[in-house]
Structure 1
Amino acid sequence: MSKFIASFWSMSIILLVFVILTLEELVDGRTILSAANKAIIKTIKVDEDEIIDCYDIYRQPSLNHPLLYNLTMQMRPSMNPKNVKLDNFGTLQLTQTWHKYGTCPQGTVPIRRNIKHYNSTLSRKHRRPKFSHSETPNTLQPNDVIEAHEYAVIRVHGNFLGGQAKINLWNPVVEAPIEISVSQIWVLAGDSDDFNSIEDGWEVCEPRYGDYQTRFFILWTTDNYKNSCTNLECEGFVHTSSDIALGCKFSEVSTFKGNQKDATFRIYKDPSSGNWWVELQGIPVGYYPSSLFTQLSKTTTKIEFGGEIYNDRSKGRHTIAQMGSGHFPSEGGLGISSYFHHVQVIDGNNEAKDPEDIEPYVSNPSCYNLKIDKKKYKWLWFFLWRSGL
């Protein structure tokens, strides 16, 4: 009997050591041996609330979408738009904080692991109303608010292959847990239940991430937001970059009357493959295959640039949810108000150009606003907005 007990305890100790080593492999960046995680080549622990898994690019979860079973993966856009405006206005020394803790090998893609529990249905529900500002009736007055979503944007109508903007990075305050603040680009086509959208920018969204940090995000819908998908919450987006992770924090944001940080965001339809590429700081992050869409399988009908918040109206009042820097254009420009710089659309000839016949739209000017400063910034589009009470 004593030999049996000794053998039992020996096996228990061996099993315990194996479990501990396996758990360590999940956070130390070593190769994971578990058969259930063969697609994960490496794991990087950022902090107690964030882990990055480096997936084999050919075994990433998004490829489980039924329309992508026989996908021939495109690694980079076949060509770049002509006449794109680029400069060093604003600097972003380190794109995302997880880079400090490790890198994903070539041939893998970084995917943020969801550690904190969150209600993704709730966050999507409040991410966009059924009828977004893109579908606003002509009779809507400027001070009217649709389902507590508020906007300060410009619209450009036409058939385009995409758009880009250098967007100022801030960390706006939102009051209630389900509130959001967003600065982004919208690429749009269709109407009613066949409304398609691809969106790209930064957001503060506690329900999704479990904190109030400024994070890179993308979103798409093909049915007017009845079903929308942010980042990699569902299959569809084909991730190709080993350097940029969706839903991860920016390493630096702007400070009031201090250093300004920005990043160039681009949504671009490859004229050859038809895929909709998302780029950050000139890095192709990945793409939405054209086959996912109904209307955007062709071209856009409208592109929008600007900010959005979701105001929870807790306690029956407008909350302090900020947009951009939280300061009006009338208070000052660079270092005070938030900006969009080098705003361009990409036409059917694959040429980037300044937008024409723009249509500003501000849903609630007493709280949020924008202005276009052509003279001071040499005809480079400059957008500023703020939140107020």
Structure 2
Amino acid sequence: MLKFINSASWALILAIFVYVVLTPKALVAGRTISDIVNKSIIKTIKVDNDEIIDCYDMFKQPSLNHPSLHNHTIQMRPSTYPKNIKVDNPGTLQVTQTWHKYGTCPHGTIPIRRNVEKHYYSTLLRKQRRPKIIHNKKSNILQPNGIRDNHEYAIIKVPGSFIGAQAKINLWNPTVETMIEMSVSQIWVMAGDDSDLNTIEAGWAVDPTNFGDYQTRFFIMWTSDAYQHSCINLRCPGFVQTSPDIAFGCNFTEVSTFNGDQKDATFSIHKDQNSGNWWVQLQDISLGYYPSSIFTLLSKTSDRVEFGGEIYNGRYNGRHTTTQMGNGHFPSEGGLGISSYFSHVQVINENNEAKDPEDVKTYISNPDCYDLKVDKKHTNGYGFYYGGSGYNDNCQ
């Protein structure tokens, strides 16, 4: 029988043999997962809209593949906490994510949202470039230097030597015009400039490029080379997660309503004084940490902290985007319930003390499109209102 098989058929049989036998992979829900990864997954939770959460063995999590983390001993919880940190009321929200309705990850595992194969554009198209700015000492306002950039900001910048930051951030679901654009509200812990820039970032984002939809999702991000190589959530080695309760890249089930219920959550980044690891917390949950060894400058301290909003302006149809920052309303329209806010903003100094920020500088890249106003009453600690609609009569 075999003698009647021609050479083309033999080639096909050989190709099938190589693929099936010599390629140890399994196709799961459209994504190729290696056998090694499969053995690391203890449980899989199927969520609505084809979302999948994999519960990984904590000690086999992909982040430990980072070159500097070989033989790394996982720190299970922070050994030090900042003094005077506001933890009595971490936020108005009992943090829930949609996947919680479908199951939980066992103790000793961590939840990882499976990559969504719905991205229409590459994040490389909007690689972040921090704009050069000019300090107007008379007004204490930082101003753009005239060079246009697709990233736009309404933020405060706090210079100094810090080992962390914290803030309550109002949760909203802003409109994002196109798949390539985004609206982000976050904390940046930073060191260095230009090609040496190091950052650790945490907050919420509506970011269809990365997440495949227009929901408000929790994210973290880091870079040690000014975004030439950067990593969001757990998509590459670096962040060591320890909590089974919260999944990065998953949505918040509750957001604020205009002139209605306000939802906020406390986001925190702080450096453990004993281990040097940079811990990330949501509300009062310690989620895990960035080891200091993956950074250059942030292996020591931060030289500034930033808080506020950012959008990406794709300028489709030859005009400014309608992508909203915050909830799409300007601080001039009103305060609580009308425009978005950050409250209980704190920085953590080298003595591990949490304090209200000082010598604050405001940076608003395009005030006709997005704005920021510091709340001078400080009724909820140091805070500010921010946001805007994007395209309007004055924002072209």
TM-score (norm 2): 0.85
Question: Which string of whole-angstrom CA distances, capped at 9 and with x for unpartnered residues, describes residues 312-362 of structure 1?
Answer: 000110010100011011111111100001000001111100000100110
Q: How far off is 1:253 after superposition?
A: 0.6
Q: How far off is 1:302 after superposition?
A: 0.5
AA partner of residue 343 (structure 2) = H
Asked whether the equivalents of residues 322 and 386 of structure 1 are also in contact (C-alpha less than 8 Å), the reply is yes
Distance in 2 separating the partners of 1:183 and 1:143:
23
TM-score (norm 1): 0.87
Q: Which residue is equivalent to 1:128? A: 128
Question: Which string of whole-angstrom CA distances, capped at 9 and with x for unpartnered residues, describes residues 226-252 of structure 1?
Answer: 111111111111011100111000011
In structure 2, the residue corresponding to 1:63 is in which secondary structure?
A: helix
Output aligned runs, 1:338-349, within 5 Å. Answer: 338-349=340-351
Q: How far off is 1:381 after superposition?
A: 1.9
Q: How far off is 1:124 after superposition?
A: 4.7
Asked whether the equivalents of residues 144 and 363 of structure 1 are also in contact (C-alpha less than 8 Å), the reply is no
Question: Which string of whole-angstrom CA distances, capped at 9 and with x for unpartnered residues, describes residues 146-171 of structure 1?
Answer: 42110000000000011000000000
Identify if the C-alpha distance between structure 1 residues 317 and 59 changes in structure 2 by more than 3 Å, giving closer, same or farther: same
Question: Which string of whole-angstrom CA distances, capped at 9 and with x for unpartnered residues, describes residues 178-201 of structure 1?
Answer: 001000000110122111111110
Asked whether the equivalents of residues 343 and 380 of structure 2 are also in contact (C-alpha less than 8 Å), the reply is no
Q: Which residue is equivalent to 1:243? A: 245
Identify if the C-alpha distance between structure 1 residues 376 and 71 changes in structure 2 by more than 3 Å, giving closer, same or farther: closer
Q: Which residue is equivalent to 2:180? A: 178
Which one of 305, 315, 323 corresponds to residue 321 of structure 1? Answer: 323
4+ residue segments displaced more than 6 Å:
none
Identify if the C-alpha distance between structure 1 residues 228 and 380 changes in structure 2 by more than 3 Å, giving closer, same or farther: same
Distance in 1 separating the partners of 2:124 and 2:260:
34
Structure 2, unaligned stretches of length 5 or more? 1-25, 30-34, 137-141, 392-396
Q: How far off is 1:119 after superposition?
A: 6.3
**How many residue pairs align between the two structures?**
357
Q: How far off is 1:88 after superposition?
A: 4.1
Q: How far off is 1:387 after superposition?
A: 2.5
- Residues 1:285 and 2:287 are matched in the alignment: yes
Which one of 156, 159, 162 corresponds to residue 160 of structure 1? Answer: 162
Identify if the C-alpha distance between structure 1 residues 334 and 364 changes in structure 2 by more than 3 Å, giving closer, same or farther: same
Output aligned runs, 1:249-264, within 5 Å. Answer: 249-264=251-266
Asked whether the equivalents of residues 144 and 364 of structure 1 are also in contact (C-alpha less than 8 Å), the reply is no
Asked whether the equivalents of residues 116 and 209 of structure 1 are also in contact (C-alpha less than 8 Å), the reply is no
Identify if the C-alpha distance between structure 1 residues 296 and 249 changes in structure 2 by more than 3 Å, giving closer, same or farther: same
Q: Which residue is equivalent to 2:314? A: 312
In structure 1, the residue corresponding to 2:340 is in which secondary structure?
A: coil
Q: How far off is 1:94 after superposition?
A: 3.8
Q: Which residue is equivalent to 2:47? A: 46
Distance in 2 separating the partners of 1:363 and 1:187:
19
Asked whether the equivalents of residues 134 and 144 of structure 2 are also in contact (C-alpha less than 8 Å), the reply is no
Question: Which string of whole-angstrom CA distances, capped at 9 and with x for unpartnered residues, describes residues 106-156 of structure 1?
Answer: 100000001324368x22541512xx14x4355985494642110000000
Identify if the C-alpha distance between structure 1 residues 243 and 331 changes in structure 2 by more than 3 Å, giving closer, same or farther: same
Identify if the C-alpha distance between structure 1 residues 368 and 143 changes in structure 2 by more than 3 Å, giving closer, same or farther: farther
Identify if the C-alpha distance between structure 1 residues 377 and 303 changes in structure 2 by more than 3 Å, giving closer, same or farther: same
Asked whether the equivalents of residues 145 and 363 of structure 1 are also in contact (C-alpha less than 8 Å), the reply is no
Identify if the C-alpha distance between structure 1 residues 143 and 316 changes in structure 2 by more than 3 Å, giving closer, same or farther: farther
Higher relative strand content: 2
Asked whether the equivalents of residues 219 and 229 of structure 1 are also in contact (C-alpha less than 8 Å), the reply is yes
Q: How far off is 1:85 after superposition?
A: 1.8
Distance in 2 separating the partners of 1:219 and 1:119:
21
Which one of 181, 186, 192 corresponds to residue 190 of structure 1? Answer: 192
Asked whether the equivalents of residues 333 and 384 of structure 1 are also in contact (C-alpha less than 8 Å), the reply is no
In structure 1, the residue corresponding to 2:45 is in which secondary structure?
A: strand
Asked whether the equivalents of residues 143 and 364 of structure 1 are also in contact (C-alpha less than 8 Å), the reply is no
Asked whether the equivalents of residues 152 and 306 of structure 1 are also in contact (C-alpha less than 8 Å), the reply is yes
AA partner of residue 116 (structure 1) = E
In structure 2, the residue corresponding to 1:62 is in which secondary structure?
A: helix
Identify if the C-alpha distance between structure 1 residues 108 and 90 changes in structure 2 by more than 3 Å, giving closer, same or farther: closer
Structure 1, unaligned stretches of length 5 or more? 1-21, 28-33
